[in-house]
Amino acid sequence: MTAHEDLWILTAQCPSRLGTVDVVTRSLAETENYVFAMNSFDDRATESFSIRVELRPLGGQQSIERFCAIFEERAAAFDMQWELKAPDHRPRVAILVSKYDHCLNDLLYRYRKGELAMDIPLIISNHPDLKPLADWHGIPYFHLPITPETKPQQEAELWQLIQDHDCELVVLARYMQVLSPDLAAKLDGRAINIHHSLLPGFKGAKPYHQAWDKGVKLVGATAHYVNNDLDEGPIITQGVQSVDHSHYPEDLVARGQDIESQTLARAVRYHIEKRVFLHDNRTVVFPD
């Protein structure tokens, strides 16, 4: 994460073609925008190009306006989709939770410290348990109970809240509900989920206890974008840690929750800092 608060972030993606890096850097140089850092990647598998640039406008707002004026036409010639993020832009993020508090608590701590440059206008849960934590941070908490019979109505209310609060991103911080295909489609590319990653895979209740029964030697977590395939969306970040015979089920749970929290926070930061590019069902992620 950059420590320079005056940097703009340019991101762009297009089909692989000769001159993609040149058209970006030349346009920036001609309009007096200094390139502070740059990452690019050409994906042979999908024949697509991605670039991320941190830049400082030497001529202030005028440099930005001049760049946008000339780059729009040049980018169109490359079928390039691009976006320019201002230094003061803070995406509005809705957090969904159930009863587990470790991921929510970690996100709120990092948010409070200023490590995550975002705003959290609301927290939504299907249980009332974590309302005191939201209240302590002064964030509105919406309790939307759900049953199989009320799921369509509950998701309609949830979606309305996301829209009413102009949220750009939704974070499922251990929200223990499977989203319907309709809601998953609406949140495509703008919702991040976290779940445990254990080898072999353990589904159902108490996965860490199942893992202990099998004597696993690694515990981990995966943060990914939500889609209609349960826990199989495009992966953003993963974390892993070694364990051994001395770790009992409660130890595995504690280690796993730590990794889940860290992995989710990293994925959220990468997203809001515009470091993640979707290439079909895969991601290109430019780390800091």
What's the rounded Cα separation, in Å, for the pair 87 and 67? 16
Are 36 and 15 within 8 A, CB to CB?
Answer: no
Of the residues 42, 119, 129, 231, only one is catalytic, namely 231
Alpha-carbon torsion (255, 257, 261, 263), positive or negative: positive
- Residue-wise DSSP of 4-70: -TT-EEEEEEEE--TTHHHHHHHHHHHTTEEEEEEEEEEETTTTEEEEEEEEEETTTHHHHHHHHHH
69, 75 in Cβ contact below 8 A? Answer: no
Query: In angstroms, rounded to a whole number, what is the distance separating the alpha carbons of residues 77 and 286?
Result: 25
Question: Is 231 annotated in the active site?
Answer: yes
Q: H-helix or E-strand containing 162?
A: helix 151-164
Tally: H helices and E strands in the chain: 8, 13
Q: Count Cβ atoms below 10 Å from residue 43 Cβ, excluding itself.
A: 16
For residue 205, give both structure tokens.
Answer: 């209740």
Q: What angle do CA 183, 109, 106 make, to 5 degrees?
A: 55
Catalytic residues: 231
